[in-house]
Amino acid sequence: MKVVILAGGLGTRLSEETEVRPKPMVEIGGWPILWHILKIFGTQGFDEFYIALGYKGQEIKKYFVELPQLSGSVSVDLRTGRVVSESQNQDAWRVHLVETGADTMTGGRVRRLAPMLSDGAFMVTYGDGVANIDLHALIETHRRNGRLATVTAVRPPARFGGLVLDEERVDHFTEKPQAGEGWINGGFLVLEPGVFDYLQGDGDSLEVTLLERLAADGQLSAYRHDGFWQCMDTLRDKRHLEAEWATGKAPWKIWKS
Pairing of strands 149-154, 184-185: antiparallel
The whole-model pTM stands at 0.89
* Average pLDDT of the residues of the chain: 90
User: pLDDT at residue 171 above 60?
Assistant: no
- Indicate whether 168 pLDDT > 80: no
Task: Please report the pLDDT score of residue 170 as a whole number.
Answer: 45
pLDDT score for 256: 86
* Segment (H or E) for 68: helix 57-70
Higher per-residue confidence, 137 vs 157: 137
CATH of domain 2-246: 3.90.550.10
Burial 54-87 (b: 16+ CB within 10 A, else e): bbbbeebeebbeeeeeeeeeeeeeeeeeeeeeee
Q: pLDDT tier at 14 (50, 70, 90 boundaries)?
A: confident
Instruction: Report pLDDT for 68.
Output: 78
